[in-house]
């Protein structure tokens, strides 16, 4: 018997779809303004939001589990490589790519080991085994810590493009314009970007993702 | 990672500087305020608790649900306290969703409230009030009145440490010297609190069922159902050890607590040794006796006292070297952290 109110799962499901939709907006905005900052994070949030919405609300699930596993495996490798590159370039530090690697790893685990959430996980591959609760707890705690420290960070937007963003931007655009809004795309795209692509919203989407993922991990205990 | 000190706005804060980040292209890393870091650690624990409050069993009425757990805490307390706990449990039993959802929301508000400097004080104040309410209605006053409040089990109540940390991490401008907890309440008051806390823990270790081998054995045995295999194996060893050496373990824990209590008056080098001892002992207890608060078994409301005692110990970590004294701090609040003292 499930006793958790269904509205709670719907709430998280809707939040996941909102984050996924927001990621699409950021991707379009990045493409239109030809500023590549954070596109990989946007893609990962798009996939994570879409798949987790299906974990919270079964009827919203789509896609085969193996496809999702493949996607999150690729994302995991991608973010690990980016982390190593970042450390190679800037020295030993906690790159923001690491937390996205952790999130990709968590998503992978949630497909490998079905969540016991009453309403979710139906789209996942059911293998009958259980993820070690210790690992679930550690991952959940890391995600919650990431949520809290991201919100408190003075470097707003760092969850999407890291603390070395200006330097990366200079390299990416060749104009050093990542922190300015004079790249020359159409006015409408610029206005949308000004409205939505704010560092605080970017961090908020990361925080929502972390809390939702942590909740699913707690449900796996 | 090295910890260095930086003078900011007339006070000194420590900064964590990852090795090798001296690139001229990197954004300048703001200095790390240790009090702020501990506040955020506390916020993380509150966020964890908020999400734990959303587990399915929390919304379940009856003896297998949250209300049943609350009801079970009434026994052993004086009748008027037991009645108040039973009254609260009965409300939760009749309205599991409309009570539990606000409970979770309050914890979310505390966790996220601590993050913003504007809402920090109200959030910490709310956490103190909420902690005391939970200690009464959700922990049965930590079983203090029933004689079962041993530190092995989280006595005198894990949630009291949330309230204590909220007080010791209350935002206040000034130096983190000689330790972070002193910034909020002053050195003398902080040391008095420290001695009172560890004196109480020492006392609770050897009174009531805290020194009973059978009770300590049952404490662990009652926790290990539904735990993962590796933790169950640890539990088996803990149960056996406590059954045969429970009284000795309680006495040793009391002695350790007294040493830790006295440590705050010792020179920094020795004080750090006692703090490390406290951290190691309570980390072992958290794993081998408290079973991470039962979180891994999927039926916990919090992580129990272990991690909070560790955070508490870290807030008393001396930030001066052996040459630094409290009087140094009073006269020069801008002492540099470890190895960076002004010459």
Do A111 and A68 touch, CB atoms closer than 8 A? yes
Strand partners of residue B17: B2
Distances from the Cα of A85 to the Cα of A97, B14, B296, angstroms:
10, 28, 35
Q: Write out the residue range of the structural domain in which residue A63 sits.
A: 6-176+186-219
Residue A1 maps to a domain: no
Cβ <8 Å between A3 and B295: no
Question: Which region, left, alpha or beta, applies to residue B332 given φ > 0 means left and ψ of -120 to 50 means alpha?
Answer: beta
Please tell me the predicted confidence (pLDDT) of residue B256: 97
Instruction: Write out the residues of chain A at the interface with chain B, using a CB-CB cutoff of 8 A.
Output: 1-5, 8, 89-94, 118, 132-134, 136-137, 140-141, 144-145, 147-149, 151-152, 154-155, 163-167, 211, 214-215, 218-219, 221
Rounded distance, CA B160 to CA B307, Å? 13
Containing H/E element for B8? strand B2-8
Residues of A in contact with B62 (CB under 8 A): none
Instruction: Note down pLDDT in tens along chain A; length 221 residues.
Output: 456 788 999 999 999 999 999 999 999 888 887 777 788 999 999 999 999 999 999 999 999 999 999 999 999 999 999 999 988 888 878 888 999 999 999 999 999 886 645 544 444 444 456 788 999 999 999 999 999 999 998 887 777 777 665 544 444 433 333 444 444 455 666 666 667 778 889 899 999 999 999 999 999 88
The Cα–Cα gap between A44 and A101 comes to 10
Provide the number of structural domains found in chain A.
1
Who among A2, A89, A134 is closest to B56 (CB)?
A2
| Chain A neighbors of B35, CB-CB under 8 A | none
Residue from A145, A148, A215 whose CB has the most chain B CBs within 10 Å, to mutate: A148
Q: Which tokens is A113 given?
A: 């080991």
Tell me the shortest Cα–Cα distance from B199 to chain A, in angstroms. 31
Is residue A110 assigned to a domain? yes
Residue A181 lies in a domain: no
Within a domain: residue A83? Answer: yes
Residue contact B44–A5, C-beta within 8 A: no
Question: By C-alpha distance, which of A95, A49, A48 is closest to A75?
Answer: A48
Q: The pTM is what?
A: 0.85
Contact between A125 and A69 under an 8 Å Cβ cutoff? The reply is yes
Q: Is residue A119 part of a domain?
A: yes
Contacts A157 to B, Cβ<8 Å: none
Nearest-CB residue to B59 (from A5, A147, A151): A5
Report the C-alpha gap between B51 and A105 in whole angstroms: 20
The tens digit of pLDDT for each residue in A60-92 reads 999 999 999 999 999 999 999 999 998 888 887
On whether ipTM exceeds 0.90, the answer is: no
* Whole-number Å distance between alpha carbons of B74 and A219: 28
Mark yes or no for CB contact A152/B36 under 8 Å. yes
In this prediction, residue A44 carries a pLDDT of: 96
The answer to whether the CB atoms of B26 and A132 lie below 8 A apart is no
**Residue A150, in any domain of the structure:** yes
Residue B179, both tokens: 């330790």
B29 and A147: CB-CB below 8 Å?
A: no
How close A155 gets to chain B, by Cα (Å)? 9
Q: What is the pLDDT of residue B183?
A: 94
CB pair distance less than 8 Å for B228 and A134 = yes
Residues of chain A in contact with residue B111, where contact means CB-CB under 8 angstroms, are 148
Contacts of B72 (CB under 8 A, 6+ apart): none
Write out chain B's pLDDT in tens, 343 residues: 333 333 333 333 344 333 333 343 445 555 678 999 999 999 999 999 999 999 998 998 888 888 898 988 888 888 989 999 999 999 999 999 999 999 999 999 999 999 999 999 999 999 999 999 999 999 888 888 888 889 999 889 999 999 999 999 999 987 777 999 999 999 999 999 999 999 999 999 998 887 888 988 888 888 767 888 899 999 999 999 999 999 999 999 999 999 999 999 999 999 999 999 999 999 999 999 999 999 998 878 898 999 999 999 999 999 987 655 444 444 333 333 333 333 2
Rounded CA separation B141/A18 (Å)? 42
In a domain, A67, yes or no: yes
């Amino acid at each position: 018997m499930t006793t958790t109110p269904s509205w709670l799962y719907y709430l998280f499901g809707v939040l996941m779809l909102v984050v996924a939709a927001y990621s699409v907006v950021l991707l379009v905005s990045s493409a239109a303004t030809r500023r590549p900052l954070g596109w990989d994070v946007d893609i990962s949030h798009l996939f994570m939001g879409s798949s987790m919405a299906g974990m919270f609300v079964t009827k919203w699930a789509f896609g085969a589990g193996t496809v999702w596993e493949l996607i999150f495996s690729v994302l995991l490798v991608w973010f690990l490589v980016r982390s190593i590159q970042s450390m190679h370039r800037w020295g030993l530090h906690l790159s923001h790519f690491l937390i996205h690697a952790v999130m990709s790893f968590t998503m992978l685990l949630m497909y490998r080991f079905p969540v016991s959430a009453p309403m979710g996980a139906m789209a996942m591959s059911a293998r009958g085994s259980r993820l070690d609760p210790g690992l679930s707890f550690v991952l959940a705690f890391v995600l919650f810590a990431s949520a809290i420290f991201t919100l408190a960070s003075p470097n707003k937007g760092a969850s999407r493009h890291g603390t070395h963003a200006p330097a990366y931007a200079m390299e990416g655009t060749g104009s050093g314009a990542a922190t300015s809004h004079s790249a020359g795309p159409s006015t409408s795209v610029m206005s949308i970007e000004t409205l939505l692509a704010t560092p605080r919203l970017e961090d908020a989407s990361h925080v929502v993702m972390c809390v939702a993922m942590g909740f699913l991990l707690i449900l796996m205990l | 990672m090295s910890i260095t000190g930086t003078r900011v706005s007339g006070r000194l804060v420590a900064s964590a500087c990852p090795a090798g980040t001296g690139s001229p292209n990197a954004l300048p890393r703001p200095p790390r305020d240790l009090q702020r870091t501990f506040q955020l650690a506390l916020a993380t624990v509150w966020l964890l608790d908020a999400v734990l409050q959303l587990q399915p069993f929390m919304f379940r009425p009856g003896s297998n649900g949250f209300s049943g757990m609350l009801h079970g805490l009434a026994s052993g307390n004086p009748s008027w306290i037991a009645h108040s706990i039973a009254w609260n449990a009965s409300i939760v039993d009749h309205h599991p969703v409309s009570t539990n959802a606000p409970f979770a929301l309050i914890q979310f508000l505390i966790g996220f409230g601590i993050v913003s400097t504007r809402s920090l004080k109200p959030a910490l104040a709310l956490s103190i009030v909420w902690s005391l309410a939970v200690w009464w209605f959700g922990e049965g006053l930590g079983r203090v009145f029933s004689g079962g409040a041993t530190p092995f089990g989280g006595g005198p109540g894990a949630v009291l440490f949330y309230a204590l940390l909220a007080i010791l991490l209350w935002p206040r401008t000034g130096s983190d010297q000689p330790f972070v907890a002193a910034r909020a309440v002053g050195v003398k008051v902080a040391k008095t609190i420290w001695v009172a806390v560890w004196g109480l823990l020492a006392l609770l270790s050897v009174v009531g069922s805290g020194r009973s081998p059978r009770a300590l054995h049952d404490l662990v045995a009652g926790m290990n159902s539904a735990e993962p295999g590796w933790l169950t194996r640890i539990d088996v060893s803990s149960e056996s050890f406590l059954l045969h050496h429970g009284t000795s373990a309680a006495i040793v824990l009391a002695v350790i607590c007294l040493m830790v209590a006295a440590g705050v008056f010792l020179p920094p080098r020795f004080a750090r040794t006692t703090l490390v001892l406290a951290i190691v002992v309570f980390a072992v207890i958290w794993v081998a006796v408290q079973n991470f608060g039962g979180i891994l078994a999927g039926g916990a409301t919090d992580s129990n006292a272990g991690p909070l005692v560790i955070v508490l110990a870290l807030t008393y970590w001396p930030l001066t070297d052996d040459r630094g004294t409290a009087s140094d701090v009073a006269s020069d609040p801008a002492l540099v952290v470890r190895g960076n003292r002004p010459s």
